[in-house]
Structure 1
Amino acid sequence: MLSAALALSSLFVAARAQQVGTNTAEVHPALTVSTCTKSGCTTVAQSIVIDANWRWLHATTGYTNCYTGNAWNATICPDGVTCAANCALDGADYSGTYGITTTGNALKLDFVTTGANVNVGSRTYLMAAGSTTEYQILKVLGQEFTFDVDVSNLPCGLNGALYFSQMDADGGLARWPGNKAGAKYGTGYCDAQCPQDVKFIDGVANSVGWNASATDVNAGTGEYGTCCTEMDIWEANKMSAAYTPHPCSVTEQTRCSGTDCGIGARYSSLCDADGCDFNSYRMGNTTFYGPSDTIDTTKPFTVVTQFLTTDGTTTGTLNEIKRFYVQGGKVYPNSDSDIAGVTGNSITDSFCAAQKTVFGDTNEFKTKGGLAQMSKALSTGMVLVMSIWDDHAVDMLWLDAPYPPTASPSAPGVTRGACSPSSGAPTDVEKNSPGASVIYSNIKWGPINSTYTGTLVGGGGGGTGTGGSSSVTSVKSSTTAVKPTSTTSAKTSTTPPSGGGTSPKYGQCAGTGYTGPTVCAAGSTCTYSNPYYSQCL
């Protein structure tokens, strides 16, 4: 299917033309972020843009809608190429129409906004500093990404999602001649679900085979989908949360059709739609995350995600994705798995293999290349996506309730949160919780341990990666800051334990609570990282 789709797309290049309207000026809401080094963080003035799917799409010669409800205008859009030439994406009224507001370093996304038309949800992208035409490309391999989030106003059935997508920096502007919109108007979206509801793919309207049914759950989908690697940093509401890598066999945004999109054959897709998730509730700890739990979701908190490599560098291969939370000045390692046969509190290939086996899930994660394949996307760079949405396919049950509904809720891996199996129907959520919202703020990225501070509290366990850049290994309790306040160069640890043997290069050699080998392999020296971790470098 893929080769046929690519051949077909090549025929459209000369005629492709995604137009821009002039009725509303496009002004991207400002948003500050921070880039960090070991010596501190620097604030950068940037902005966000709303996805093209949400925009008013009208005839270039007037105000006639090209798309209304779930249907394309057949006269203006007899086919995808003609539609692209006849229709224009216009500028957006961010706050009035879409409920999107920014203040300093904070982005607030409202769920439902009303007016001349009702808008539900939104999807936004971070723009590059000083640019109105390119997305920020984040390269976080061997680094960490941190943000604050307020999910206190996100009930069951909703998802405040912050994630990376391997989109083109210019939204496809250069690859598809005649595309006049590009990143400035939020084009070029793709993810590991190979979504078919994207209205324009590769500069052409996705109007062929469009399902405009008023009752079909798959209404608003076309013949084609758009696939790319996706790293879900955060999918959550106040009841449950997950982070999930989704590798793909393709290494850039790719149009698909048929089984390449996973249509009728989920595991024949170009991408791993399931991914390998870590959801504390699903992994057996039902009191770690939620209202008044260890991570109290009635209050804002900080989410830290570390992408550790085999050699501890930004050019190594990804072998572990670690998670920490900071709330009230305290640093909490991610909860440990309490599922028999699955150990750890981070995502590794071995964790994923064990989880898939115990839960009886297909290990498409391994088939699509696992963390090594995800590593390629993180190295090349990905776009930051921030959204709020409800789920018209399966009511968000995969995030916060028993899923699949036909399985026993007590079976391993089935129950993902405390929400009811009937809690996430979009008609109910949109009616009962229109005022829901999520706030993302204080976005930072940089070297390991550069983006957050706090006092480590007990539990959580350590990961298994050998990259050595991890900030915390298994510690029961501590009143010492996780990250030293000194910004001087690395130093040899002064608190070696008594363990025998030899630690390999890039392995751990010292740290509070550590009992392993303290002698480093030839050619490396035990080098201090923080009170809990020293590494053979």
Structure 2
Amino acid sequence: MHHLVALLSFSVLTVVCGQQVGTQMAETHPNLSIQKCATGSGCQIQSTSVALDANWRWLHTTSGTTNCYTGNTWDASLCPDPVTCAENCALDGVDYTGTYGITSTGSALTLKLVTHGPYSTNIGSRVYLMANDTTYQMFNLKNQEFTFDVDMSNLPCGLNGALYFVEMDADGGLSKYPNNKAGAKYGTGYCDSQCPNDIKFINGEANVLDWVPSSNDANSGTGMYGTCCSEMDIWEANNNAAAYTAHVCTVHSQTRCSGSDCGDGDDRYNGVCDKDGCDFSSYRMGDTSFLGMGKTVDTSSKFTVVTQFITADNTTTGTLTEIRRIYVQNGKVIQNSKVNIPKMTTYDSVTDVFCNDQKTTFGDPNSFEARGGLATMGQALSKGMVLVLSLWDDYADNMLWLDSDYPLNKSISTPGVARGTCATTSGVPSDVESQNPDSSVTFSNIKFGDIGSTYTL
């Protein structure tokens, strides 16, 4: 996810994660159909499903129901060290709708912000698309396009309805790490370009070393390790702003990091991943009338988002050179907005030239170019990436990096600072959760395939 801090913070009450498999509740993945398309032969439906990330699941002893983690603190007797904790603790199946507010019907998936379950109150969620009951669906998208519909009319300031790809292992690390007995079926193996260190189990071991409970999130904390991999943010948005962002890393699979490699704090630009990424946000790039409530792309109703991954020779083996964006709404194809920033060319897609120009104009370090730029992103796309769908609020920066003016210590007139219409006082998680608990996002009609095959001109 694209923001200017290392910590990705997700909130959930009394619901946590682990690596063994519990027996308190059977795990039944909600079905979600997608379509694979080809030029000349149309689209074929594929039966897939989604699995909830392990970080949200109840973590308890393998022999009973005692919590291994409560609030934002580990049980020291059950989790004295990473391996013992993984051996002592199990994660269970979940009630997707009743506990987590996750519902699916046909090709549509809805994620709700606040869900009051029978034993806990849940905030947000993160799910992965499954090829089968034990394996994540892998997408190889070079010289391909990826399309979906989104309804975020019920998604106000401070929230992020995100759809993105990360370079996770197809089995969630099950085969690599002996202490991981749960695997993809139970949502293990997460990584992204922020190298998040709030993930409770990494590489099959509990992240208990140097664990520090969060000062402003009663359910989260950070440990010694982070988990890193390249990330392609297809969609990070609420009904006020949206961005798509490529993040690349010098590592080429899910990798546990520590120290400066994680890029935390002052080491932000010394880590293995490009945390800033190269982003295209219409509002940030100077077209403030393009996307939003009542604008050209009207976020008050559903629309289609098309993302095309163009290679130098128009083959699936060529070098990635461009990421294009197209919208479709009310039967009308809407080409992406153009850059309207003084001294910048009127770009309308992500290329290495655009990224370099943006970084120079905004005065930002070019960590994207330093880690290989689009060519590196193409390597991840060739290898295969996992689709992630999530809804979250931001305990670190109140989502201002997405939908407001950010950073706060710079003038709004500085190029790149204005990112959306939301007030700089908006997005405080406690306010968002109490004032807009029924907020939700619906993703539907996911399609992928040949360029030009997934939508109608």
Identify the match of residue 313 of structure 2 among 308, 311, 314: 311
Which aligned pairs between 1:359-374 and structure 2 lie closer than 5 A?
Answer: 359-374=362-377
1:89 aligns to what? 91
1:21 aligns to what? 22
2:290 aligns to what? 288
Aligned-residue offset at 1:214? 4.2
Matched, 1:243 2:240: no
Q: Confirm or deny: 8 A CA contact 1:211 1:218 kept in the other structure.
A: no
Which aligned pairs between 1:325-344 and structure 2 lie closer than 5 A?
Answer: 325-343=327-345, 344=347
Give secondary structure in 1 for the equivalent of 2:84.
helix
* Aligned counterparts of 1:435 and 1:35: Cα–Cα separation in 2: 32
Write the letter of the residue equivalent to 1:342: M
Give secondary structure in 1 for the equivalent of 2:278.
coil
Identify the match of residue 401 of structure 1 among 404, 410, 423: 404
Cα distance change on mapping 1:75 and 1:141 into 2, 3 Å? same
1:445 aligns to what? 448
1:163 aligns to what? 164
* Aligned counterparts of 1:238 and 1:246: Cα–Cα separation in 2: 23
2:10 aligns to what? none
Matched, 1:143 2:144: yes
Write the letter of the residue equivalent to 2:237: A
Cα distance change on mapping 1:91 and 1:244 into 2, 3 Å? same
* Aligned counterparts of 1:60 and 1:221: Cα–Cα separation in 2: 24
Give secondary structure in 1 for the equivalent of 2:416.
coil
Matched, 1:122 2:155: no
* Aligned counterparts of 2:349 and 2:251: Cα–Cα separation in 1: 25
Aligned-residue offset at 1:341? 2.4
Task: Using structure 1 for the length normalisation, give the TM-score.
Answer: 0.80
Identify the match of residue 57 of structure 1 among 51, 56, 59: 59
Aligned-residue offset at 1:342? 2.2
Write the letter of the residue equivalent to 2:244: Y
Q: Confirm or deny: 8 A CA contact 2:307 2:323 kept in the other structure.
A: yes
Cα distance change on mapping 1:218 and 1:70 into 2, 3 Å? closer
1:301 aligns to what? 303
Aligned-residue offset at 1:178? 3.7
Deviations 1:34-57 (A, max 9, x none): 000112000111100000000000
1:69 aligns to what? 71
Q: Confirm or deny: 8 A CA contact 1:341 1:354 kept in the other structure.
A: no
Q: Greater relative contact order (Cα 8 A, min sep 6): structure 1 or 2? A: 2
Q: Confirm or deny: 8 A CA contact 1:190 1:253 kept in the other structure.
A: yes
Aligned-residue offset at 1:216? 7.2
* Aligned counterparts of 1:205 and 1:219: Cα–Cα separation in 2: 14
Aligned-residue offset at 1:117? 1.0
Aligned-residue offset at 1:410? 1.4
Which aligned pairs between 1:180-259 and structure 2 lie closer than 5 A?
Answer: 180-215=181-216, 220-259=221-260
* Aligned counterparts of 1:334 and 1:166: Cα–Cα separation in 2: 27
* Equivalent pairs, count: 436
Q: Confirm or deny: 8 A CA contact 2:71 2:219 kept in the other structure.
A: no
Identify the match of residue 380 of structure 2 among 373, 377, 380: 377
Report the aligned-residue RMSD. Answer: 1.2
Cα distance change on mapping 1:105 and 1:176 into 2, 3 Å? same
Give secondary structure in 2 for the equivalent of 1:351.
helix
Write the letter of the residue equivalent to 2:324: K
2:360 aligns to what? 357
Write the letter of the residue equivalent to 2:196: P
Matched, 1:435 2:442: no
* Aligned counterparts of 1:260 and 1:214: Cα–Cα separation in 2: 24
Write the letter of the residue equivalent to 2:182: A
Give secondary structure in 1 for the equivalent of 2:280.
coil
Q: Confirm or deny: 8 A CA contact 1:20 1:88 kept in the other structure.
A: yes
Aligned-residue offset at 1:136? 0.3
Cα distance change on mapping 1:158 and 1:216 into 2, 3 Å? closer
Deviations 1:93-149 (A, max 9, x none): 100000000000000000010133110000000001xx2100000001010000000
Give secondary structure in 2 for the equivalent of 1:268.
coil
Cα distance change on mapping 1:42 and 1:228 into 2, 3 Å? same
Write the letter of the residue equivalent to 2:355: C
* Aligned counterparts of 2:102 and 2:288: Cα–Cα separation in 1: 33
* Aligned counterparts of 2:336 and 2:69: Cα–Cα separation in 1: 44
Task: Using structure 2 for the length normalisation, give the TM-score.
Answer: 0.94
Deviations 1:402-458 (A, max 9, x none): 00011111111001000000111111111111100000000000000000003xxxx
Larger Rg: 1
Deviations 1:181-223 (A, max 9, x none): 0000000000000000111100000111111244479951111
Q: Confirm or deny: 8 A CA contact 1:217 1:392 kept in the other structure.
A: no
Give secondary structure in 1 for the equivalent of 2:390.
strand
| Same amino acid, percent of matched pairs | 63
In structure 2, runs of 5+ residues without a counterpart are: 1-17
2:104 aligns to what? 102
* Aligned counterparts of 2:259 and 2:289: Cα–Cα separation in 1: 42
